[in-house]
Structure 1
Amino acid sequence: MYLFDWLDHIDKIAFTFIHRDMSARWLDFVMLLLRNQYTWIPLYAFMLYWSLFRIDRPTGIKFICLTILCFAITDYTSSSILKYHFERLRPCYDEDMTTVIRGIIGCGGKYSFPSSHAANHFGLATFWFFTIMHVTQKKWTWLWIWAFMIGLAQVYVGKHFPLDIVGGAALGILVGLGVFKLFEAWFKRDYNKYLKNPSLSLP
């Protein structure tokens, strides 16, 4: 029990520093932009273009289907299962944080652990990173920075404690790796079919 109390105390200190002490008006705008889902529509459009026109079509279809699966698992698990299991209050509902919250964004749902934003974006970053490296041998390291910045923005605007982000990131990475393994197995199965019957299209 003392360990959890200590972690909660440290978490709230870190939250106070990120949300209040490092705040600035210009940074408010940047962080609100970072965590807004509409900001990243061009990125998702690019990923769709990349999967359909920069790699072969069968592999691209696999990539799209498993991207949707990855997002569905992280979002449902974090928002519909784990939040209601842990029942950790969001900072804006926590009485200890009353004098800290700056109110730059609406409170949202009551529970915060784990962060669905962190789970979803780290899940996608993990799946995309390893799949793209598997297909093209290129390392898109910026994907990790992208997911981290969105997680940081969630703390900055007051939606989550830092440990909510850590928990969401851990969930996302685990799911992303699992879905990548599905992609790997699917890719390998189709490739083996091609080796047995070269008249088939190469996956």
Structure 2
Amino acid sequence: MEDIKQLDWDIMLFLNDWGNDTVDLIFNIITYKYYAIPLYAYLLYLLYKKLSRRELIIALLTIVVLVAASDQIAMLFKNTLVQRLRPFREPGLEGLISKVGKSGGTYGFYSGHASNAMALAVFLWHLLKKSHKTVAILLFVWAILVAYSRVYLGVHYPGDVLMGMFMGTIIGWLCFKLYGFLVLRFRESVVP
């Protein structure tokens, strides 16, 4: 276990804050959820054009469940189950980690940002891959950039974001299955 921890620290030191003020700004923009509002608006527009009204409502409600589940599970791991200090709070890394942006709490395993971004990318991949394949692929690029931004900014270890992306993949897939179930359920309930 110590070898894994040391590897995580070594990779963290390599990937953390290698840029300049412009790169710092870019990764702060990528990580800050409110800067993604234009992306979310565009995705909403695509869903509006692709789905029926009922399917759109189900999709939006499923996305609410997806984000809530992703956030709450990450918080459970961070604050109750694991309680691993964030890199910039780790005494063994003091003076070695550059914290570029704002941070959450004391603990960081696993990354809610990485989980949310990947969950949304996986969910929307399944909805958009046939009609908007390029957009669906770009969502994965966006999710990876969000995950990496957390390491670059000094608030998560690489292991935190990898676990976040793994959990996000599972949550996104499960929510897509929930969406499919609800679409069938409510389609059947209105057919005479």
Determine helix, strand or coil for the equivalent of 2:16: helix
| Correspondence for 2:94 | 98
How much does 1:137 deviate?
4.8
| Residue of structure 2 aligned with 1:111, choices 107, 113, 124 | 107
How much does 1:32 deviate?
1.0
How much does 1:191 deviate?
4.3
How much does 1:187 deviate?
2.1
TM-score, normalised by the number of residues in structure 2: 0.91
How much does 1:138 deviate?
4.1
Are 1:9 and 2:6 matched, yes or no?
yes
- Per-residue deviation, residues 43-100 of structure 1 (Å, max 9, x unmatched): 1122222333443211111111101110000001101x11121010001110121121
Residues 25-64 of structure 1: pairs in structure 2 closer than 5 A: 25-64=21-60
- Per-residue deviation, residues 100-134 of structure 1 (Å, max 9, x unmatched): 1223223430000000101111111111111223x
Query: Number of paired residues?
Result: 189
Mean CA deviation greater in 136-145 or 149-158:
136-145
How much does 1:16 deviate?
0.5
TM-score, normalised by the number of residues in structure 1: 0.86
Structure 2 CA distance for partners of 1:106 and 1:43, relative to 1, 3 Å: closer
| Correspondence for 2:149 | 153
Using the aligned pairs only, state the percent identity. 26
Q: Which runs of 5+ in 1 are unaligned?
A: 198-203
**Contact 1:122/1:176, CA 8 A, preserved across alignment:** yes
How much does 1:186 deviate?
1.8
Residues 166-181 of structure 1: pairs in structure 2 closer than 5 A: 166-181=162-177
RMSD of aligned alpha carbons: 1.7
- Per-residue deviation, residues 20-47 of structure 1 (Å, max 9, x unmatched): 4x33332111111110111101111222
Aligned-partner Cα distance in 1 for 2:182–2:103: 41
Are 1:188 and 2:188 matched, yes or no?
no
Question: Which of these two proteins has the greater Rg computed from alpha carbons?
Answer: 1
Aligned-partner Cα distance in 2 for 1:26–1:150: 17
| Residue of structure 2 aligned with 1:82, choices 77, 85, 92 | 77
